Structure 1
């Protein structure tokens, strides 16, 4: 049995399905569908040089890698390669082959600092450290049982605050883009992010097939989006892609208000399971999510390695 690594073929039946299935087996806390796999590949910004690799054994996809240059960071020469192998197909060399291919391609693109998310499990961390990676920050995956859990009661917005949905901005999503750009810039992380390309954001984020505009809640103050909770859904599961508040409106509980509204509407729509993620150092947001009833279900560690 020989393992080979190749590029994902988005127009070949079975490739997007195999990629998504493998990701869900290896990382069940993140939403993935064949449609989202194809969209991410075909709508990525050209400067990201985004690639999706698959490890294949006897015609079966057993591992995946998402490879990109951090083009939206003000610091050049950074990139990422997130490698995941099916739990029942490990120790066949797929992870090593995927990582080596990713490193070669990124090195050719001028990447000198490579980041990779690794599940906080002994085998996974040992693999990363054997490859020369060093641990950096970490993040939690959290799960909420929407069916059996008890959400905090819905709250009426305070005076001057209105709750809308992302669908209300279908004709002009730029105010949502501006809020996303501001809050993303303040997210804790190893790679700084600057959103400046509205057209790219429309293609990559606003048109993403997982984005559920009807369940995404926006808290509006004096006509201006001040906070939001972005919902992703895959038909059966709900995930929070982003929750944040514009700097001028922080400390007023608007993010909590928006997320609570979105979760209540997700449960009413029939979703029974919700996921979210937090940097382990983001104690205020972790406390908010525990208030909702989320429980930590896994942890990832961000590893970094100098190339060349």
Structure 2
């Protein structure tokens, strides 16, 4: 076994590994390759793979938490090992590589995610569970009917939008998003990289609700084959409690289904009652859960 920095050519193996461990996560080969080759700006992003007999059996990413005024938190994301290669020290070695990467970045706290059966591993390495995340799935053959928008609301695919308008709506809607770290400093360049230029973003299916020339709500979906990931659905605070989140998400799901998508996945913090209620009404059903876990560095 050896741990090394990920290379763009690892993308197919990384995606295959992810589908084995996290079948409800959606990120295709092209966007994974780009992420490795052209990492997010200004966040100190890197990724490591674990190899056994030249086969990728483990993966982890590490970076400074972006989009937040809290600058000393680092993310160790998607640490996972193939089921056939667990309990051999691979996960610990990947975690050590990620931690060593974060140390010189001035990181004081670290956040990672663990499935319930991995919480003992997290605790052994100094992490304590913080928040529960629910993963849900929807068979799009069972998606609810799409109703017409209310008077004064226009539904538009985001492909028709000025990205700066969508960025402004994203920034405004994310400020009170439940989580360990506030999402209160979304830079345009970082947002454009993470969202608008993501190769998996389906701009024809992703939908926004426009009111008086402003983006009031939107639902973004990323696609890989016949699966989509409902990446983020948000409503600008001034337009909440009008049913717009459900409206745009339903429209995005119908547009994706019309183009051959069969199943949609999403995730929500268990404290995000309004969005969980929207997803339950749309027919989403829980398929897995994870916990965010926090630790002090050093």
Length-normalised TM-score, structure 1 = 0.93
Measured in 2, the distance between the counterparts of 1:41 and 1:186 equals 30
Match in the other structure for 2:26: 31
Pairing 1:132-143 to 2, within 5 Å after superposition? 132-143=126-137
Match in the other structure for 1:41: 36
Pairing 1:50-65 to 2, within 5 Å after superposition? 50-65=45-60
8 Å Cα contact 1:241/1:276 also seen in 2: yes
Aligned residues: 297
The answer to which of 95-104 and 38-47 deviates more is: 38-47
8 Å Cα contact 1:36/1:208 also seen in 2: yes
Q: Does 1:182 align with 2:177?
A: no
Measured in 1, the distance between the counterparts of 2:221 and 2:67 equals 23
1:179-223 residue CA offsets vs partner (Å, 9 max, x unmatched): 111122221110112344223322231010110000001001011
Measured in 2, the distance between the counterparts of 1:80 and 1:219 equals 32
Secondary structure of the corresponding residue to residue 262 of structure 1: helix
Match of 1:166 among 158, 171, 175: 158
Q: Does 1:84 align with 2:80?
A: yes
Measured in 2, the distance between the counterparts of 1:223 and 1:43 equals 34
Match in the other structure for 2:254: 264
Measured in 1, the distance between the counterparts of 2:283 and 2:265 equals 11
Secondary structure of the corresponding residue to residue 42 of structure 2: helix
Match in the other structure for 1:7: 5
How big is the shift at 1:19?
1.4
Match of 1:221 among 211, 216, 220: 211
Measured in 1, the distance between the counterparts of 2:84 and 2:181 equals 32
Measured in 1, the distance between the counterparts of 2:262 and 2:123 equals 37
8 Å Cα contact 1:24/1:32 also seen in 2: no
Measured in 2, the distance between the counterparts of 1:303 and 1:135 equals 4
Q: Does 1:129 align with 2:123?
A: yes
Give the alignment's Cα RMSD to 1 decimal: 1.3
Match in the other structure for 1:252: 242
Length-normalised TM-score, structure 2 = 0.96
